Amino acid sequence: MSGDPLDLLVVGAGPTGIALGAEARRAGLDCLLVERGALVESLLGYPAEMVFFTTRERLEIAGVPFPLPEEKPNRRQAIAYYQAVAAAFRLECALHEEVESIRPGEDGFRVRSRGRDGEVTRRARAVAVATGYFANPLRLGVPGEDRPEVRRRYREPWEHFGEDVVVVGAGNSGAEAALELFRHGARVTLVHRGAALKETVKYWLKPDLENRIAEGSIQALFEAEVLGFVDGAVVVRQGGRERRVPARAAYVLIGYEPEVRLLEEAGVTVDPATRIPAFDPATGETDVPGLYVAGTVQAGRETHRIFIENSREHGPAIVRHLAARLRPGVGAVAAE
């Protein structure tokens, strides 16, 4: 077991985890971020040419300005910004290391993880889980879903010029992917089990996609069920009839499942239907004292409710609460 106990161990090093680490630094707390991938791994998986809907000031964390002339940053600029915040606060990070268990005890927590150098167990007075959900995409549960041409994250369109591509799902991810693939030369078929595009699709994307469908540029199969993936096609049932839709590639973009296993195994109550953990909205603390949740994990399956712009206050709230508990009269002031 390594070293003295940390004041705070953060599971996840995305924007929310970095904000937590920065606030802990400002409050004089010892903090370590443990991340299964690279720093801001979630943003690395975003579409390469993505531009944030949110303006730059609403993406700022830890009081660090986002120095950008454009109103809305792109993926590359956001990655550079959050990595710069981590560097400015000299955050301690254990990257490419996956947390396997969080065990509460009388003297805090024991957090076991496994990385490139093997297994390590650390002690921490408090733990904050800020894992997001991008590592846990929803599955269809049909034959052929693990074929190499079936993908669960969309990055860029270039390889699909002149190819048949099926996009499964009609939310924001599906809408963005379908439009970009079409505009870069792919023959796109959108498959969705609902009767129309989701109402949550961004207001400027929805009419664009609806118009492309209406003019026949993008084929849409609504009220359709994917039965499986085979060589060169996706098997779909629509209106009681099965058909094979040509596809050299398929993107299954139907959403994500929140990662709550670590929380459940640590003793946190998690609603079986919504997958929302029991926590105090004012402090982020769960019903296991000293174990906090931050970012999208607070929303359970309602992943559309929490984004960077409305989760950046989770870090300050958690650190204020923890600092007041660990260092009464000192830490609470530092965290303000």
Q: What confidence category does residue 229 fall into, taking pLDDT thresholds of 50, 70 and 90?
A: very high
Residue 145 within a domain: no
pLDDT at 329 over 60: yes
Phi-psi region of 267 (alpha: psi -120 to 50; beta: other; left: phi over 0): left
Do 182 and 36 belong together in one domain? no
Entry pTM: 0.87
Q: Are 124 and 141 in contact (CB under 8 A)?
A: no
Query: Are 179 and 222 in a shared domain?
Result: yes
Which whole number is the average pLDDT over 143-161? 96
C-alpha separations of 254 from 7, 13, 169, 235, 287 in Å: 38, 24, 5, 17, 31
Question: pLDDT confidence of 159, banded at 50, 70, 90?
Answer: very high
- pLDDT value for 312: 85
Domain boundary residue, one of 233, 252, 271: 252
- Residue 336 has a pLDDT of 47
- Based on the structure, what is the number of domains in the chain? 2
Instruction: List the one residue out of 223, 272, 220 whose CA is nearest residue 245.
Output: 220
Residue 238: inside a domain, yes or no? yes
Domain identity same for 166 and 65: no
Query: For the packed helices 314-326 and 15-26, what is the interaxial angle rounded to 10 degrees?
Result: 40
Note the pLDDT of residue 135: 77
161 and 235 in a single domain? The answer is yes
Residues 219 and 268 reside in one and the same domain: no
* pLDDT tens sequence across 210-221: 999 999 999 999
Q: Report the alpha-carbon distance of residue 170 to residue 137 in Å, rounded.
A: 15
Q: Would you say residue 315 lies in a domain? A: yes
Lowest-confidence segment of 98-102, 223-227, 304-308 by average pLDDT: 304-308
Domain end (from 252, 285, 308): 252
Is the pLDDT at 134 greater than 90, yes or no? no
Residues 38 and 97 in one domain: yes
Instruction: State the Cα–Cα distance between residues 71 and 330, nearest whole angstrom.
Output: 38
| Strands of the 241-246 sheet, one edge to the other | 224-230, 233-238, 241-246
Q: Do residues 14 and 110 share a domain?
A: yes
Q: Where on the phi/psi map is residue 6: left (φ > 0), alpha (ψ -120 to 50), or beta?
A: beta
**Is the model's pLDDT at 155 over the cut of 50?**
yes
pLDDT of 307 reads 76
Q: Is residue 142 part of a domain?
A: no
Residues 243 and 232 sit within 8 Å (Cβ to Cβ): no
Q: What is the DSSP string of 131-165?
A: --STTSB-----TTTTSTTEESS---SGGGTT-EE
- Is residue 201 included in any domain, yes or no? yes
Pair (171, 244) in one structural domain:
yes
Percent above pLDDT 90 for the chain: 80
Helix, strand, coil abundance in the chain, percent, nearest 5: 25, 30, 45
Same domain, 131 and 170: no
**79 assigned to some structural domain:** yes
CATH code assigned at 205: 3.50.50.60
Q: Give yes or no: residues 91 and 112 share one domain.
A: yes
Question: Do 127 and 158 fall into the same domain?
Answer: no
Q: So what's the pLDDT on residue 102?
A: 98
The per-residue pLDDT for 292 is: 98
Average of per-residue pLDDT across 16-27: 96
Span 255-305, pLDDT tens digits: 888 889 999 999 999 999 999 999 999 999 999 999 999 999 999 888 778
Same domain, 8 and 120: yes
Cα separations (Å) of 133 from 113, 194, 211, 288? 19, 23, 31, 21
| Whole-number Å distance between alpha carbons of 12 and 102 | 13
Q: Is residue 141 part of a domain?
A: no
* pLDDT at residue number 14: 94
Between 51 and 174, the more confident residue is 174
Q: Which domain holds residue 285?
A: 2-136+256-334
pLDDT at residue 333 above 70? no
The pLDDT, as a whole number, for residue 1 is: 54
Of 198, 223, 252, the residue that ends a domain is 252
Q: Does the pLDDT at position 38 exceed 90?
A: yes
Q: What is the pLDDT of residue 2?
A: 54
Query: Tell me, what's the pLDDT at 334?
Result: 44
Q: Identify the pLDDT of residue 332.
A: 43
